[in-house]
């Protein structure tokens, strides 16, 4: 039986490691041809060689810095139409709002928000023309419930959710699907930058998500009408409770929220 994603063309940003790498690998295992973007050529090349050796599909790498949003349209011209876009690239810093530099603030929004929006704008015309396509935006539970020392990161993920929810409604008659993925902390290199003192990882390490499980879940819903993926279930439950009783959740969770 043919694989579900056979010869689908999937572009994955931030694919040189972590969740993006695993999404690329499991997409390729399903028969998809993958295009991987990231800043680290050596890491991208290593991912490419593994995919070529084990999956026997087309795999292309593009060395690219997501903060250079003005270059995305030019880069896209070398890529051409895709069936699925996975906006995975992003980073965060666990710092108090007053301690975060203007430079880091701008960079975080360039990568997490403006880069995501610009890539989406680049791929959408072709998807709409063929009445088929899927935009998958990696957001975060931080986009649903903010915590101390992650104000700017949470702001970027709130923006991703707001953009995605509006976009989904705009595209409802086009055949193009929009899914947001809202994971809690995942065992990846994300925290080498975000949590440089290691306190957050030490506090929540036993609850961290396995990147392979998250990636497989994402691949399993590709080209389906899945609105959101929320992981883990218990954390999403807290996020839902927060929407109804924000003051209560902030009071009860104050000590846990400050463990960064």
Q: Give catalytic residues, as residue numbers.
A: 153
- H-helix or E-strand spanning residue 136: strand 133-138
* C-alpha separations of 107 from 3, 37, 73, 254 in Å: 39, 18, 19, 29
What span, in angstroms and rounded, lies between the C-alpha atoms of 163 and 183?
Answer: 17
Sheet holding 228-231, edge to edge: 59-63, 33-38, 9-12, 84-87, 133-138, 176-183, 228-231
Question: What is the Cβ-side half-sphere exposure of residue 58, based on CA atoms within 13 angstroms?
Answer: 11
What span, in angstroms and rounded, lies between the C-alpha atoms of 86 and 135?
Answer: 6
* C-alpha separations of 259 from 11, 182, 205, 234 in Å: 35, 20, 12, 18
Cα(first)–Cα(last) distance of the chain, in Å? Answer: 48
What span, in angstroms and rounded, lies between the C-alpha atoms of 25 and 189?
Answer: 17
Tokens of 164: 């995605």
Strands 84-87, 176-183: pairing is unpaired
What span, in angstroms and rounded, lies between the C-alpha atoms of 77 and 33?
Answer: 17
What span, in angstroms and rounded, lies between the C-alpha atoms of 235 and 52?
Answer: 36
């Amino acid at each position: 039986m043919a694989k579900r994603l056979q010869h689908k063309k999937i572009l994955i940003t931030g694919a040189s490691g972590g969740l993006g790498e695993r999404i690329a690998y499991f997409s390729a295992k399903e028969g998809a041809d993958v295009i991987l973007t990231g800043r680290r050529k050596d890491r991208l090349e290593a991912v490419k060689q593994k995919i070529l050796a084990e999956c026997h599909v087309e795999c292309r790498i593009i060395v690219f810095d997501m903060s250079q949003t003005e270059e995305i349209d030019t880069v896209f011209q070398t890529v051409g139409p895709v069936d699925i876009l996975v906006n995975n690239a992003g980073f965060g810093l666990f710092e108090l709002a007053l301690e975060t530099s203007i430079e880091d603030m701008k960079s975080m929004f360039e990568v997490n928000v403006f880069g995501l929006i610009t890539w989406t704008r680049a791929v959408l015309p072709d998807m709409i023309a063929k009445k088929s396509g899927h935009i998958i935006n990696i957001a975060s539970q931080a986009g649903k419930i903010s915590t101390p020392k992650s104000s700017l990161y949470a702001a970027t993920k709130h923006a991703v959710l707001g953009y995605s929810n509006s976009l989904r409604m705009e595209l409802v008659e086009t055949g193009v699907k929009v899914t947001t993925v809202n994971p809690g902390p995942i065992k990846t290199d994300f925290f080498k930058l975000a949590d440089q003192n290691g306190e957050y990882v030490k506090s929540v390490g036993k609850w961290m998500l396995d990147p392979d499980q998250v990636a497989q879940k994402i691949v399993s819903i590709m080209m389906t009408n899945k609105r959101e993926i929320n992981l883990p279930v218990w954390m999403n439950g807290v996020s839902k409770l927060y929407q109804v009783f924000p003051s209560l959740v902030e009071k009860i969770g104050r000590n846990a929220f400050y463990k960064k």
